[in-house]
Amino acid sequence: MMTKNNKIIITAALTGSQTYKEHNPNVPYTAKEVAEEARRCREEGASIVHIHARDIKTGKPTSDLNHMKDIMRAVRSESDILINFSTAISEWAKEEERIAVVTECKPDLCSLNTGSMNFAFEVNYKTGEIGRDWVFYNSFTLVTKLALAMKEHGVKPELEVYDIGHIHNTLLLRRQGVFVEPLHYQFVFGVAGGIRFNLATFSHMIQELPDGSTWSVCGVGPNSFPVCMVAAASGGHMRVGLEDNLYISDKTLAKGSWEQVRKAAQIARIVDRDIATPDEARAILNLPKR
């Protein structure tokens, strides 16, 4: 069903598309800010950084390839951490812009979202009121195009799954040979429109994976560290960072994604998991050498 390894990979999601400096002043925008944050995350134990490029003035997500390439150069000048770019980019990104992230930037990994879904950014869970939302478009056709581009350019797809059906989508496309084995999954828990986190949903997710797969988890908001604790004890990997969660504890803003990485590393050590270096993460995920 899955590959177990005592080494645990910690990914730091530095920016996202919906968290701004007004929410937490430590969200990085410029290439220099991203690189410095990536270095600090590496020092605390992260082996991968997940990045959405942001406009340096407004902080809004951008598909500017030159800015993405500047970020890559800056990050690699600071440390050996692996780079994972988002192909979702933003709610208004065009199909060709999403594919260009792969074909033009060629990072170590790219996120590959595996199904369309309702996606709410603003939700009041007490009243059930939905604020700003959209339909996150990921047709089979688009997923296939992205997967084939990643295969052609030697970029590892991180298969983003927000619900059980998204795993089933990958199993269907897998029969066409669009992925390079073994597959690597990222379970996302807590998005309004996606699956909620509890032990039953978590168990169901890992049971549906094809043999030999690797997997990681991330939780939105208060789900972040509970999800990491369960994954660490279950043989999986972890993602933290200001894209998913602005806080280090219930009411305290994180000083940066690096502080959340430090906490994730503490969780890993509690269950006697060793922290993977970037080179070890490359081996675990079967990434092509750069």
pLDDT in tens, 149-201: 999 999 999 999 999 999 999 999 999 999 999 999 999 999 999 999 999 99
- Higher local confidence (pLDDT), 18 or 29: 29
The pLDDT of residue 51 is above 60: yes
Determine how many CB atoms are found less than 10 A away from the CB of residue 104.
12
Q: 182: cis peptide before it, omega within 30°? A: yes
What distance in Å separates the CA atoms of residue 18 and residue 60, rounded to the nearest whole number?
A: 8
pTM for the predicted model, two decimal places: 0.96
The pLDDT of residue 128 is above 50: yes
| Mean pLDDT, rounded, for 77-88 | 97
The pLDDT of residue 273 is above 50: yes
The pLDDT of residue 244 is above 80: yes
Helices 224-234 and 257-270: angle between axes, nearest 10 degrees: 40
The pLDDT of residue 2 is above 60: no
Q: Which residue, among 224, 218, 213, has the nearest Cα to 160 in the 3D structure?
A: 218
Using an 8 Å Cβ cutoff, are 89 and 102 in contact?
no
Using an 8 Å Cβ cutoff, are 184 and 158 in contact?
yes
Torsion on CA atoms 86, 89, 90, 91, rounded to nearest 10:
-80
The pLDDT of residue 138 is above 70: yes
Which of 2-11, 49-58, 223-232 is least confident? Answer: 2-11
pLDDT value of position 17:
86
Question: And the tokens for 21?
Answer: 């400096």
pLDDT value of position 4:
55
Q: Are strands 7-8 and 214-219 parallel, antiparallel or unpaired?
A: unpaired
Confidence of residue 281 (pLDDT cuts 50, 70, 90): very high
| Mean pLDDT, rounded, for 64-92 | 96
* CATH class of the domain at 7-284: alpha beta
The sign one gets for the Cα dihedral 94, 99, 102, 104 is negative
201-219 per-position pLDDT tens digit: 999 999 999 999 999 999 9
Percent of the chain scoring above 90 in pLDDT: 90
Q: Which residue, among 190, 290, 243, has the nearest Cα to 59 in the 3D structure?
A: 243
Question: And the tokens for 83?
Answer: 């780079």
pLDDT value of position 1:
42
The pLDDT of residue 124 is above 90: no
| Mean pLDDT, rounded, for 9-16 | 96
The pLDDT of residue 5 is above 80: no
Q: Which residue, among 156, 207, 144, has the nearest Cα to 184 in the 3D structure?
A: 156
Helices 65-78 and 31-44: angle between axes, nearest 10 degrees: 40
Helices 224-234 and 199-207: angle between axes, nearest 10 degrees: 50
